Amino acid sequence: MTTETLVGEYFASGTLSGLPTGHFIDGAFVAASGGRTMETFDPGSARPYHAFAAGDGSDVDRAVAAARRAQRAWGRTRASARGAILSRAAELIRAEAARLAVVESLDSGKALQEAEGDVAGAARCFDYYAGAADKIQGDTFPLGADHIGYSIEEPAGVTAHVIPWNYPLSTAARSIAPALAAGCTVVAKPAEQTPLTALMLAGILARAGLPAGACNVVTGTGAEAGGPLVAHPDVRHVTFTGSVPTGIRVMQSAAAHVASVVLELGGKSPVIVMADADMDAAVEGVLGAIYENAGQICSAGSRLVVERGVHAELVGRLAGRAAGLRLGHGLRRPQVGALSSAAHLDKVAGYVEGARARGVTVAAGGERATDPQSGAGWFFQPTILDAVKADDPVIQEEIFGPVLSVQVVDGEEEAVAVANGTDFGLVAGIYTSDFGRAHRMARDIDAGQVYINEYFAGGIEVPFGGNKLSGFGREKGFAALRSYTRTKSLTAKIGGSS
């Protein structure tokens, strides 16, 4: 079915046929143990369009038990055979790309073209880890002629994956694929706002040949399903993407049964623009850094740190461009889509209203909005808050919306100090024509990833994760595989006198 057909079906009926309704446990879609359901909303219209299973601890127990049963056989499956299944999954993702993208856009509110990019990225992720599966290997140790020493990398076991609402499919793929490549089994809990593509992915993996129980998805709220999952004693590793307070609780729960954890907890990432930068490139980079996915990105460039000599020019150009960005329902391919929920819209609006009350200059936007065709939906105008003080909440706290806060600096040293001036350390961007300066600044900025002269540069090959309150551990690249393996060392005496 084509994208246009699916979009037409949705606008004609208010839903899509064939959407998953149950958990995916032990190779099949099943109802919640308690028979309860909950609704998922279309943020672009602010109304529900589908119902899905509302799980609890008993559903988590079923899923973890299935994953534990499947673990031994999957972990001992030949690595090249695991890779072949992941490769077939990538092919199926591409074959079903239209449906996945439309559902992703509906569930999250993002523009359809962004959802299409997410689906392509998910397929690429499975391709990458399909090729990595048989590259996971140990080492040998020089113990002398009379001994042999070597290590093997074993799967960690049952792994839990708590998936956020802003990038449901691509975030699921970037942790599920390396876990399966390493021989782990999976229990995933997608955000209750965006449950559907994780369920669809589990079905795709089953059709690709993944054994029953190797990948399970339990839907429901964080309190009723996510909490029991990360606290389950049979879970050996937890990968979590979300807020700092929830991440702290996840780490505390995992500590009770000594499970390892990767936390990706968001950021307040700076985009530094020096006076010698290519201004055209900087304008495009800053716009994409903050307004892609309506700013609902952990690594969004939500702070513009600009050298004083180009401050007025750059903010003026950005404000003009921001005012002209087209908002709308995600399926109509706008430039900026909806925010995820009414509660999140209130949060974003509250930050801007508070800044305005403190006397911060609103250079662009600053107001709630709706879909221009329907008059509905949860939207916020692309916004720029200019010349903000370093201690202001819109500088120090993650807004997670289309709000850019500007800080003005004098020179390289101050730019680095300002960039490091929050409790977060996820990513940073640098725009300058001086290559030596770029690398000095990159060296001194406390962040897990730094982009130079292009924001969101790189792909699945590049490790991703943060420092400070942005979390710890790394996803993507070969670094991600370390989270899902355990090193076992072996030594043996093979000759010589005792």
CA-nearest of 6, 98, 11 to 374 is 11
Candidate list 116, 264, 307, 475, residue with the active-site label: 264
Query: What is the Cα–Cα distance from 451 to 456, expressed in whole angstroms?
Result: 7
Find all residues with CB under 8 Å of 110, minimum gap 6, and list them.
104, 118, 293, 294, 296, 330, 337, 338
**Which backbone phi and psi does 39 adopt, to 5 degrees?**
-100, 150
Candidate list 125, 184, 215, 298, residue with the active-site label: 298
Q: Cβ of 13: how many Cβ atoms within 10 Å? A: 10
Q: Cβ of 413: how many Cβ atoms within 10 Å? A: 12
CB 122 within 8 A of CB 93: yes
CB 362 within 8 A of CB 369: no
CB 404 within 8 A of CB 314: no
- How many Cα atoms are found within 13 Å in the side-chain-facing hemisphere of 344? 24
Active site residue 264: yes
Find all residues with CB under 8 Å of 11, minimum gap 6, and list them.
331
Enumerate the active-site residues. Answer: 264, 298
